[in-house]
Amino acid sequence: MTGKKVLIPLGAVIGLVLLAVLFFQVAGLHYFVLIILPYICGAIFFAGLIYRVIRWAQSPVPFHIPTVCGQEKSLPWIKQDKLGSPSNWLQVTGRMLMEIFLFRSLFRNSKVEHAPEARLVYGGNRWLWLGGLAFHVSLFIILFRHLRFFTEPVFAPVLWMSDLDGLLQLAIPTLFITDIIILIALIYLFTRRVVFAQVRFISLPSDYLALFLIMGVAISGVLMRSVFKVDLTYVKELAMSIIRFDPVVSGAIGLPFFIHIILACTLIAYFPFSKMMHAAGILFSPTRNLLNNSRMKRHINPWNHPVRVHTYAEYEDEFRNQMKKVGLPVETDETGSK
């Protein structure tokens, strides 16, 4: 079963690579791959993203379920954990920022172990936290660097980031530090899913598909820069023409770029329908964005609606005579007196 979970997504990504090779051989398909496909996948991405966000925003929260990782606000002399158990929106904002940028909960509260004397000890998975953080930070920097293909003149912060990322000058042309880090992080995240039985059991083919797609995009991007020497001037001209909605294929763009753009477009179109949407979904997670104030304020279930109930007084009015006949006590008589 595990083999199928891995091999089917891997085969799908390999199939996309072979499809790119096939499309490259047909000159009439170049315009479709380089122009039409990015527009289609971009439209799917934005439509899917907007749809998912609207659905999440409209979803009711029937239960007050903030994740509590510390002492809630209580008596004045008891110290509150303001981030672990926020009681106002400022604290919730701090908690969300720590979660989004530093993966705080993954660092602190992802593992439970039995300590001596049968105590439960809660801790974090430091390697998973480090691998996840390295992957996300590297991905952000890589995407930020790609802005140089879509802006003219290039923003100064993009140039600074590129210079800083290529500071080590490991190769000619420059091999960026984040290219190495993201590949190592992806290999770790994949290995973790395969090696650890608990993670392997809950992993779905879609999880591996997302990993393989990101791996394919990252590897093809590194190969384009370091091995196949794709002409980046043509790539930028193409990207700028797409952004201006005046698409033009201005030069000979080779097979490596074909593979890269097909994998990237597939990843973009797949993003809104995968678990990768946690990037936006975390903002709508009730376990993270709710106040832990259930002792101070009553939480009303939004699914509750007015219900016509049959009160005991109405029940007694309806069956008073029958109750008296069988000897059951009644609270009031026909006149309403006790």
Closest CA to 179 of 149, 230, 129, 145: 145
Q: What b/e string do you get for 257-283 counting C-beta neighbours within 10 Å, with b at 16 or more?
A: bbbbbbbbbbbbbbbbeeebbeeeeee
Q: How far apart are CA 95 and CA 295, in angstroms?
A: 20
Q: Reply yes or no on whether the pLDDT at 187 is more than 60.
A: yes
Asked whether residue 335 carries a pLDDT value surpassing 60, the answer given is no
The predicted model scores a pTM of: 0.83
In contact, 265 and 41? CB cutoff 8 Å: yes
Fold of 2-289: Fumarate Reductase Cytochrome B subunit (1.20.950)
Report the percentage of the chain scoring pLDDT > 70.
Answer: 90
Collapsing DSSP states into helix, strand and coil, what is residue 115? strand
Residue 138 identity: S
Q: At residue 139, what is the residue type? A: L
Tokens representing 205? 């083919």
Return the minimum-mean-pLDDT range out of 5-9, 66-70, 263-267: 66-70
Q: Which amino acid, 176? A: F
Estimate the crossing angle of helix 2-25 against helix 255-270, to 10 degrees.
130
Using the predicted structure, report yes or no on whether residue 134 has a pLDDT greater than 90.
yes
Is the distance from CB of 186 to CB of 134 less than 8 angstroms? no
- pLDDT value at 104 more than 80: yes
Q: What is the pLDDT of residue 112?
A: 66
d(CA 174, CA 164): 11
Q: Residue written as tokens 């074909």?
A: 258
How many residues are there in the chain? 338
Question: pLDDT digit string (tens) for 281-328?
Answer: 888 988 888 999 888 888 888 777 777 888 888 888 888 888 888 888
Rounded-to-integer distance, Cα 40 and Cα 266, Å: 10
CA gap 32, 22 in Å, rounded: 13
pLDDT tens digits for range 48-88: 999 999 999 888 888 888 888 888 888 889 898 888 889 88
Q: At what angle do helices 126-145 and 156-165 cross, to 10 degrees?
A: 130
pLDDT at 171 over 60: no
Whether the CB-CB separation of 266 and 16 falls below 8 Å is answered with: yes
Give dist(CA 230, CA 257) in Å, integer: 7
| Choice among 239-248, 267-276, 294-303 with the minimum mean pLDDT | 294-303
Task: Give the per-residue pLDDT at 122.
Answer: 63
Structure tokens at 305: 């609606």
Query: Do 88 and 72 meet the contact criterion of CB atoms below 8 Å apart?
Result: no
* Distance separating alpha carbons of residues 172 and 225, to the nearest angstrom: 9
SS3 assignment for 150-169: CCCCCCHHHHHHHHHHCCCC
pLDDT exceeding 90 applies to what percent of the chain? 36
pLDDT at 94: 92
Domain residue ranges of the chain, discontinuous segments joined by +: 2-289, 309-338
